[in-house]
Amino acid sequence: MQRRTLLKSGAAALVAVSLASPALAQDPLKVGFIYVGPIGDLGWSYQHDQGRLAVEKEFGDKVETVYLESVPEGADAERALTQMAMQGADLIFTTSFGYMDPTINVAAKFPDVKFEHATGYKRADNVATYNARFYEGRAVMGTIAGRMTKSNKIGYIGSFPIPEVIQGINSTYIHAKKVNPDVEISVVWAYTWFDPAKEADAAKALIEQGVDVILAHTDSTAPLAEAAKTPGVIGFGQASDMLDFAPSPRVSSIIDNWAPYYIERVQAALDGTWTATDTWGGIGEGEVGIGEITDAVPAEVKAEAEALAASIADKSYHPFTGPLNKQDGSVWLAEGEVADDGTLAGLNFYVEGIKGDIPQ
């Protein structure tokens, strides 16, 4: 209930801001956002919208934000982007991989408008790209998972077999294995980013297989709710903090925090220093947040996880550091070698020790 009142007052504040800004502002920077889902999904689009609200809060009258939610990828995206640019948006964030080609096309027609595309790889003079190193957070989760599992089985609910998700699975497994050599990981592909009922079923299937730690790369809270039904099973918040399920089953979380990046980029646009960069931020940049580790985790495990997060944040440790072999036993990274971003961006194989195949 508290969460709800919070949301309500947040909404009231938002209305107040949007009422107040047009009257006062001289010529505010208009910042647009295109979301693939509804902002009420409590996952991917919700977190991007939290970033938008943070921008409004930070800059007040100096910016005006607009957004379009539930925009299908493809033809509709191109039209939506064009309409947004014509309505005078100066800086537009397109927040889903499928918006890549539409973003490039529309950007070519509006050279004076700045575009930022999330999770893609195509850039132009006025198109920047950005993504988050979620696998850094997965390393921390993997450490906790390896220490906490009693059955030595951890489960991972994957959305689609794409590089970002495969990075997460590998990172989880590598770090769970590091602290617990007996650990095994089961992967279930849900083929959806968002279908609460199916996610709940996937979690249940894993639990019935004896899994007692669940990680999800899908967006709803359903896996945590399912975990809550079985004592001794733990999980992690995904995308948002999901504190409603703390202290257990939610023992920590991996948070998509776009606010620092959005604020930085809006600032750059205001200052006239904006350029088409490629940003891949992680824990250190604040893009990947580690939600508070609860008391359900023993103090020494908590300390170990926090130390790992700190070493990733200050770049003294990279989650993909050799020696690491590929699943087939061939060498991927030699001793001390660190994976390059190009390989990670197209990652399509498991590391040694993970059973099963990536669906093709």
Partner 1 sequence: MLKLERRPAPSRGWTAVTPVLAVVATMIAGGLLFAALGKDPVEAIRTIFWDPLFGKFASYSRPQLLVKAGPLILIAIGLSLGFKAQVWNIGAEGQYIMGALFGAATGLAFYPTDSVLLFPAMVLMGALGGFLWAMIPAVLKLRFGTSEILVSLMLVYVAQHIMSAASFGMLKNPEGMGFPGSRNFQHYPAAFNSELIAGTGMHWGGVAALGAVVAAYVLLSRHILGFHIRVAGEAPRAARFAGVSPALLTSVCLGTSGALAGLAGLFEVSGPAGQITTDFASGYGFTAIIVAFLGRLHPVGILLAGLLMALTYIGGELAQLTLNLPSAAVQAFQGMLLFFLLAFDVLANFRIRLARRKVEGRARA
Partner 2 sequence: MMGSIDPILLIASLMVASTPILLAAIGELVVEKAGVLNLGVEGMMIVGAIAGFAAAVESGSPLLGFVGAAVAGAALSLIFAFLTQVLLSNQVATGLALTLFGIGFSALIGQGYTGVRPPPTPKMDFGPLSDIPVIGPMLLRHDPMVYVSILIIAAVWAFLKFTRAGLVLRAVGESHDAAHALGYKVVRLRVLAIAFGGACAGLGGAYLSLVRVPQWTEGMTAGAGWIALAIVVFASWRPWRVLAGAYLFGGVTVLQLNLQAAGVAIPVQYLSMAPYVMTILVLVLISADRRRAAQNAPASLGRVFHASS
When CB distances are held under 5 to 8 angstroms depending on the partner's kind, the choice from partner 1, partner 2, none that residue 277 binds is none
Give the nearer residue to partner 2 in terms of CB position, either 201 or 304.
201
Shortest distance, CB of residue 181 to partner 2, whole angstroms?
Answer: 19
Shortest distance, CB of residue 99 to partner 2, whole angstroms?
Answer: 19
Give the nearer residue to partner 2 in terms of CB position, either 19 or 197.
197
When CB distances are held under 5 to 8 angstroms depending on the partner's kind, the choice from partner 1, partner 2, none that residue 204 binds is partner 2
Among positions 22, 72, 298, 356, the unique one binding partner 1 when judged by CB under 8 A: 72
Residue pair 284/313 in contact (Cβ under 8 Å)? The answer is yes
The residue range among 52-60, 72-80, 175-183, 202-210 that interacts with partner 1, by the rule CB under 8 A, is 72-80
* Cβ-based neighbours of 202, under 8 Å, separated by 6 or more: 157, 188, 190, 223
- 202 touches partner 1 (CB under 8 A): no
Residue pair 170/135 in contact (Cβ under 8 Å)? The answer is yes
**Which region, left, alpha or beta, applies to residue 42 given φ > 0 means left and ψ of -120 to 50 means alpha?**
left
Give the nearer residue to partner 1 in terms of CB position, either 70 or 230.
70
How far is Cα 350 from Cα 237, in angstroms, rounded to an integer?
24
Shortest distance, CB of residue 233 to partner 1, whole angstroms?
Answer: 30
The residue range among 81-89, 175-183, 197-205, 333-341 that interacts with partner 1, by the rule CB under 8 A, is 81-89
Q: Are strands 288-291 and 250-256 parallel, antiparallel or unpaired?
A: antiparallel
When CB distances are held under 5 to 8 angstroms depending on the partner's kind, the choice from partner 2, partner 1, none that residue 78 binds is partner 1
Give the nearer residue to partner 2 in terms of CB position, either 8 or 79.
8
Q: Are strands 324-325 and 331-333 parallel, antiparallel or unpaired?
A: antiparallel
- Candidates 1, 94, 50; CA nearest to 241 is 50
Q: Are strands 91-94 and 114-118 parallel, antiparallel or unpaired?
A: parallel
Give the nearer residue to partner 2 in terms of CB position, either 211 or 305.
211
Give the nearer residue to partner 1 in terms of CB position, either 317 or 349.
349
When CB distances are held under 5 to 8 angstroms depending on the partner's kind, the choice from partner 2, partner 1, none that residue 4 binds is partner 2
When CB distances are held under 5 to 8 angstroms depending on the partner's kind, the choice from partner 1, partner 2, none that residue 160 binds is partner 1
When CB distances are held under 5 to 8 angstroms depending on the partner's kind, the choice from partner 2, partner 1, none that residue 187 binds is partner 2
* Strands, E assignment, 21-126: 29-34, 63-68, 91-94, 114-118
Element containing residue 140 per DSSP (H, E):
helix 134-148
Among positions 7, 16, 105, 209, the unique one binding partner 1 when judged by CB under 8 A: 105
When CB distances are held under 5 to 8 angstroms depending on the partner's kind, the choice from partner 1, partner 2, none that residue 41 binds is partner 2
How far is Cα 328 from Cα 291, in angstroms, rounded to an integer?
35
* Cβ-based neighbours of 5, under 8 Å, separated by 6 or more: none
DSSP 326-345: BTTS-EEE-TT-B--HHHHH
SS3 15: helix
- Candidates 163, 176, 194, 181; CA nearest to 41 is 194
Among positions 76, 295, 340, 357, the unique one binding partner 1 when judged by CB under 8 A: 76
Please give the residue ranges that form the binding site for partner 1 (CB under 8 A): 15, 18, 32, 38, 66-70, 72-76, 78-80, 82-84, 86-87, 97-98, 101, 105, 121, 160-163, 166, 191, 345-348, 359-360
